[in-house]
Amino acid sequence: MKVAVVGATGLVGGEMLKVLEERNFPVTELIPVASEKSVGKEISFKGKAFKVRSMEEAIALRPAIAIFSAGGSTSLEWAPRFAAVGTTVIDNSSAWRMHADKKLVVPEVNAHVLTADDKIIANPNCSTIQMVVALQPLHEKYRVRRVVVSTYQSVTGTGKQAVDQLMNERNGREGAKVYPHPIDLNVLPHIDVFLDNGYTKEEMKMVNETKKIMGDDTIRVTATTVRIPVMGGHSEAVNVEFDQEFDLDQVRTLLENAPGVVVQDDVKAFKYPMPLNSHGRDEVFVGRLRRDESQPKTLNMWVVADNLRKGAATNAVQIAEYLMANNLLNTVAETAKAEV
């Protein structure tokens, strides 16, 4: 099982290596890939050193899986070239998410759509992933009609330079800035670029990706995405209107039994999800469960997850695990046999 990690030297790439190791994914040969300036450098995996390789070198090695976290333009250029030699690509960028012929997958929600013919699989946006994991068990029971979501997103979602900007500001140091305003002691209601409709690209990702992942174009979604000066994970205030009336105790039970969900909902003990406690975890944490008293059939909940893990790396590795468990991958040997 040759596995390439494209963008291995980045924040998410590093997290992917960590998750592959922690979950004991059966990597027989790791192929770390990065930009030309990083080729030849070494990264550590399971106590061993591996040299960073170029795209061309990685393709020549014909990995069974290539997990991409290197940006949309890189993915558009190189993912088809990996796929052409039989590699299954799991891409973390937005490049392929809304392509009609590409699957957009959160394993707890829609892994069943995957087949052996899917050679480029899209990993959804981090804020969408955690929301649909919490919504899916409720959608199956009550059918979601409308979602109003406001996000409170970690600077790690922007990358290492954003973390550096936050820490520089916090410590009174000068440095490069990736945000148009200070982020420390501040809140920026602006993630990604603004579109003609006044929403940001991040907000429209949540709208469109939710419908595609949950397989229901009738679900109405409106989002406001906000950057805050934290590093542990993303938080979301989610207001959900259902088609059917619900019982709050049953909602709690459904979530407690849902794959990948941990319910933290004891307000008397001040127990609720926080990014500080989600850091380094793979689960989606849900709490503050309560009725919206302004209209019927509507629930409020608070959803938190580590955006580098479940919002990116873990979700990608879980897709790989599903493909492997269901014999949907070309192994190195099978690929070589097919060539002969």
Instruction: Report residue 325 as tokens.
Output: 């468990």
In angstroms, the CA 159 to CA 92 distance is 14
In angstroms, the CA 237 to CA 94 distance is 23
Tokens 């770390």, residue located: 32
Instruction: Report residue 243 as tokens.
Output: 């088609």
Contact criterion met (CB below 8 Å) for 56 and 81 = no
In angstroms, the CA 263 to CA 283 distance is 10
Q: Is 57 helix (H, G, I), strand (E, B) or coil?
A: helix
In angstroms, the CA 99 to CA 286 distance is 30
Give the Å distances, CA to CA, from 254 to 127, 137, 215, 245: 21, 6, 20, 14
Instruction: Report residue 276 as tokens.
Output: 């500080």
Q: At what angle do helices 11-22 and 314-325 cross, to 10 degrees?
A: 40
Q: Which residues are annotated as catalytic?
A: 126, 234
- Ranges of beta strands (E only) in the chain are 2-6, 29-33, 42-45, 48-51, 65-68, 88-91, 103-104, 120-122, 144-153, 220-227, 234-242, 261-263, 284-291, 298-305
- Residue 164 CA, chain-centre distance (Å), reads 22
**DSSP labels for 117-163?**
T--EEE---HHHHHHHHHHHHHHHHH-EEEEEEEEEE-GGGT-HHHH
